[in-house]
Amino acid sequence: MGMPVIGKKLTSALLAALLMCVSACGENNVPQSTEKTETKKPAATTAAKTVHTSISGIIELTDDEPVQTVPEVTEETAAESAETSETSMETVVTVTSDAASGTSAETSAETTVQTTVTTAAAETTVQTAASVTSGTTAAETTSAPTPNSYDPSFFANDYFIGDSIYTGLTAYGYFPDTQVFAKIGLNPQSAGTSEIKGQTAVSKAQSLQPTRIFIMLGSNGLAYMGNEYMANSMKQLVGDLQAVCPESAIYVVSIPPVTKVHNDAGQETMSMVNDYNSRLKTMASGAGVGYLDLCSQLLNEDGYFSSAYAEADGLHFLGAAYKRMLSFFQSSTA
C-alpha cells in the first residue's frame, strides 16, 4: 500500500533540511588558519616586490599601473651627455657667399659671429659682424684706401728740384739722380745759380723736358731770408722753368711742417711755415702753375709734424714720409 501524501511531503522536507545542514556545516568547517594564510600571502609578495624594486630601479605603483623603468647611468651614456652639452655651447659660425646679389643676411635671434664674404667684380670685401640683427644687408664691395702707396712708373719722366729733403729721393733709391736736382742748403734764390755736375736746376730741366716738375724749396731760408723774399725768388725760378719747358706741368710744393719740439726751439716755427706756404699758394695761382699742400698731409692732431713722418731733428723725413709724399703727388696730379 502506498505512502500517504502527507508522509511523502514530510519526507521531502526532512531531506531538504538535511541537505541544507550538511552544506552549512561544510562551510563552517573551513580552517580559520587557511583564510589568514591566504590573506597574508599577497601582502608578503607585495613587500618582496617592493624590496626588489628598490634594488633594480623598477617602480611599481599598483597592479593596474604600467611599470616605469629608470635607465641606468653608465660611462658610455655619461660621455654622450657631456658631448651633447659641449656641442650646445659652441658658437655658431655662418659663412655666406653672395656674388653681387645684394641679398639680405638672415636674421639671428642669438648672439653669433657671422663672417660674410661678398665677391663683386674683381674686388672682394670680407666683413666680420658681431651680434647680427635683423635688417642687416650683405656688405657692399669697397676698396681700402692706400695713402702710402704709389706707382713708380707714374713718375718715370718727372723731375724734382729741392733741398736736403729731396736728396733722400736718390739716397733711399726712389729715383735715379738723373731725375733729381737736390742739394743740402738749397733755397729758392740759390736754386737758380747753384750747379750739380755742371748743370743748374733750369738747364737740367731743359735737357730732360719732363712731364711734371715738382719744386719744394724754402725750409733752409725760413729763419733768415724772409718769406716774401723767398716767395719772389720762387716766382723767378718758376718763370725760368716755364720758358725752357713750355710743355711741362709745374707744381710748387709747400714746405713740410716742424715738430713741436723744433717749434718750441724758435728757429723755424709753424707760424713761419704757414705764412710762407700761404704766400707760395698765392704766387703759384698768379703764375698759372699748380700748388700742392704737402704740409697738411704730414700734420698730427696738434698741428705739428707727425712723429710717424719726422726725423729726430724735427725737419727731415723718415722713409714713411717719402711714400706719403709720392702717394699724395700721384693722387693730386694724375
In this prediction, residues 91-114 reach a mean pLDDT of 37
> Is residue 304 within 8 Å of 257, Cβ to Cβ?
yes
Q: Which of 191, 175, 192 is nearest to 183 (CA)?
A: 191
Where is pLDDT greater, at 61 or 193? 193
Architecture category of domain 152-333 in CATH: 3-Layer(aba) Sandwich (3.40)
How high is the pLDDT of residue 19? 61
How high is the pLDDT of residue 256? 98
CA 111 – CA 60 distance, rounded (Å)? 46
pTM for this prediction: 0.58
Q: Which of 139, 144, 119 is nearest to 127 (CA)?
A: 139
Residue 97 predicted with pLDDT over 70: no
Q: In this structure, what C-alpha cell is assigned to residue 228?
A: 716774401
In this prediction, residues 175-179 reach a mean pLDDT of 97
CA 239 – CA 241 distance, rounded (Å)? 5
- Domain positions in the chain are 92-143, 152-333
Residue-by-residue DSSP string for 66-93? PPEEPPPP-HHHHHHHHHHHHHHTSPPE
CA 297 – CA 317 distance, rounded (Å)? 13
Q: Compute the residue count for the chain.
A: 334
CA 285 – CA 223 distance, rounded (Å)? 25
CA 52 – CA 40 distance, rounded (Å)? 19
Give the mean pLDDT of the chain.
73
How high is the pLDDT of residue 74? 47
Q: 171 φ, ψ to 5°?
A: -60, -35
Give tens-digit pLDDT for 10-65.
556 666 666 665 455 444 444 444 444 444 444 444 444 443 433 334 333 334 44
How high is the pLDDT of residue 10? 52
> Is residue 101 within 8 Å of 141, Cβ to Cβ?
no
In this prediction, residues 231-243 reach a mean pLDDT of 98
Residue 111 predicted with pLDDT over 90: no
CA 111 to mean position of chain CA atoms: 17
How high is the pLDDT of residue 13? 60
Q: What element of type H or E holds 216?
A: strand 212-216
DSSP 8-state class, residue 247? T
285: CB partners within 8 A, 6+ apart: 291
Interior angle at CA 47, CA 45 and CA 51, nearest 5: 115
Q: Per residue in 223-237, is it b (16+ CB within 10 Å) or e — as a string?
A: eebebeebbebbbeb
Residue 123 predicted with pLDDT over 60: no
60: CB partners within 8 A, 6+ apart: 49, 50, 53, 67
